[in-house]
Structure 1
């Protein structure tokens, strides 16, 4: 006989009647009722198979003209059909309006977004201005498809990380329980072994040595327990360090701004979003930095470079009187050393080979014809 609380819980199910075939669960306890999120009208599974197996059809409930499909029918989760409908609407709206707090300029803007989302859900649940709300929702979804998908990917990654963390915590808890059980068994065996050792030594020794043997056995047990506690503390600290490192590494993956950027840079439905700035394209690198020697970013010109050849020149007044400047020599030498940064040898060789092939094709043929003419002309002279 089922418990009284089960009878109370399923008392309403016995009165359920299919609106199509008028079958009751009271007469057929194995009957399963299904609902469709298009209209949330409940009907039995046999009627669903009979009406919608051949394809989409209108809802058989009187007054409902919505087109239903068999693959959309599912079992009811909540007892109240209004709660079932609200949960489905909330899931659909939050699937589209899935903006995150870090995308807003301030906490107030994010709170306004949450309030606006709840208003949209309330309008759809209570049937207030449904056409305009659905139109705004669909327009937002089409304009912000990239950011919606990016946030969905982040949510999926966070859910996966949470499940992995839960699994890891459960495994750690199991290992801790196993370690505690193993520790208890080891400690019990050590105590029994210590007691047996003390009893055997007392049986083999003299009565005067009983107190000394007991004290020695107690010291051995204390030493073993202290060593065990030190090892446990070391293992605990190591596990804590590993958990901290895992928490730092298991943060949600960052999504690039290009994945979250929308075509319009924002939305007319949601206010307070951060402005997405498109980075400027990188300019081509100029290795020569113009013609000014001092404006180079790949080397720094110093005032002095140690050199056994240039040191005497620095002290020679005759060289200085003629206008010779070592700084100019340093600048020119460094510029010549780094001048190859703008040269791409592979490209130059390929271009040179192409140019040589186009230039040589004509002269080679001409040279071949000339050599043939010379050889043919020289043949009679040799015979004569």
Structure 2
């Protein structure tokens, strides 16, 4: 018996545990399951029992409350695989942390291992109540980050689908353009060959070389135009890849701004710092006009020379202000107070010591060279 016939035989042997109807007697019978208990029953029993509202599972020994809108068709043949897939999907919707949210790759790997351990416990029925309580508390404390990551997954999926559609359309257009180009080249080559033969037949043998050179120039011009078109296509593809990189960077920045709450379930999360509020625009970059460290500018300084200028209307007619002279003079007078003489002296001494060390080494080398010369002369 083949595998296909075995599966068909098992389908025929399926019996509804409620009405005891068999698919052997009713080939059009549809079986539905509910993710609460995964007990299989026929569609007619589901309509009859759960149409009026939630009710207990009619299977003997099962006391779980079921709802009609939760029933669905079975995807996998093995009900255990069906249950494991549902559990995995539900856990991964809650524990949907991304790698960029962790301090290191090791912390992210530990998170993946912890998530698989939680899934295995729920599938095997180990500490189910405790594990479900942890998941519920984590989902309550991290609602914002879970929603943000879910939105990122949806956006990435849509971007991937759009990119795949665009690439398929571009591939179709490239194939169509290649076919058209091949047909055009074939027609042009045939027309050029016919024209070449006609010109050779009408011309003299001396014109054969000139006609051949002219045909070669035409081919070179066409190949140059083809290369230009290929370069344009490559630049367009590079621009599309750059757009995808920018979109990925924006997604990562969005994930970085998502807040995190450490509930004790997930370890190694990167601490997110709230961005500092933007400071008001300062056109002077922190510099306060009319503020000085060593003096205070006054409106009047007694001076016999300046008193004459202050009373002279010819000096004041052009808008001249003596405060500008006061400010410039005081700034020049106090300009050197911000210089540390001790630091400059120390730096100068250090530089002089370095300068002296080099001549000393040179001098010792010269004395050694003289000593070697004298020794060689004595030996001679």
Q: What is the TM-score normalised by the length of structure 2?
A: 0.69
Give, in whole Å, the separation in 2 of the partners of 1:53 and 1:330.
93
Structure 1 residue 138 and structure 2 residue 136: aligned? yes
Write the mapping of 1:170-209 to structure 2, written as runs, cut at 5 A: 170-205=168-203, 208=205
Aligned to 2:318: none
Distance 1:229 1:50, change over 3 A: same
Give, in whole Å, the separation in 2 of the partners of 1:282 and 1:331.
38
Match of 1:51 among 49, 52, 59: 49
Deviation track 1:194-247 (CA, whole Å, cap 9, x = no partner) reads 1221233344345x4695487357515532442243223322332233223322
Aligned to 2:262: 266
Aligned to 1:219: 216
Distance 1:80 1:216, change over 3 A: same
Which structure 1 residue ranges, 5 or more long, are not aligned?
Answer: 288-293, 303-315, 333-384
Aligned to 1:248: 245
Specify the SS of the correspondent of 2:32: strand
Give, in whole Å, the separation in 2 of the partners of 1:201 and 1:236.
37
Contact preservation (8 Å) 1:266, 1:275: no
Specify the SS of the correspondent of 2:52: coil
- Following superposition, the deviation at residue 82 of structure 1 comes to 0.7
Structure 1 residue 38 and structure 2 residue 23: aligned? no
Give, in whole Å, the separation in 2 of the partners of 1:131 and 1:22.
34
Deviation track 1:325-374 (CA, whole Å, cap 9, x = no partner) reads 86863699xxxxxxxxxxxxxxxxxxxxxxxxxxxxxxxxxxxxxxxxxx
More divergent stretch after superposition (11-20 vs 54-63): 11-20
Contact preservation (8 Å) 1:59, 1:65: yes
Structure 1 residue 238 and structure 2 residue 228: aligned? no
Distance 1:89 1:26, change over 3 A: same
Specify the SS of the correspondent of 1:10: helix
Match of 1:155 among 146, 153, 156: 153
- Following superposition, the deviation at residue 118 of structure 1 comes to 0.8
- Following superposition, the deviation at residue 133 of structure 1 comes to 0.4
Specify the SS of the correspondent of 1:37: coil
- Following superposition, the deviation at residue 135 of structure 1 comes to 0.6
Q: CA RMSD in A?
A: 3.6
Write the mapping of 1:1-384 to structure 2, written as runs, cut at 5 A: 6-7=4-5, 10-205=8-203, 208=205, 211-212=208-209, 215-216=212-213, 218-220=215-217, 222-251=219-248, 252-253=250-251, 254-255=253-254, 260-262=258-260, 265-278=261-274, 296-297=286-287, 329=327
- Following superposition, the deviation at residue 13 of structure 1 comes to 2.0
Aligned to 2:344: none
Distance 1:200 1:296, change over 3 A: closer
Specify the SS of the correspondent of 2:88: helix
Contact preservation (8 Å) 1:194, 1:221: no
Distance 1:295 1:211, change over 3 A: closer
Contact preservation (8 Å) 2:84, 2:123: yes
Give, in whole Å, the separation in 2 of the partners of 1:217 and 1:257.
64
Distance 1:330 1:173, change over 3 A: farther
- Following superposition, the deviation at residue 282 of structure 1 comes to 7.3
Q: What is the TM-score normalised by the length of structure 1?
A: 0.69
Contact preservation (8 Å) 1:194, 1:217: no
Distance 1:299 1:107, change over 3 A: farther
Which structure 2 residue ranges, 5 or more long, are not aligned?
Answer: 293-302, 307-321, 331-380
Distance 1:297 1:82, change over 3 A: farther
Specify the SS of the correspondent of 2:46: helix
Distance 1:78 1:213, change over 3 A: farther
Deviation track 1:279-305 (CA, whole Å, cap 9, x = no partner) reads 56678x799xxxxxx995366989xxx
Give, in whole Å, the separation in 2 of the partners of 1:329 and 1:256.
54
Give, in whole Å, the separation in 1 of the partners of 2:228 and 2:67.
64
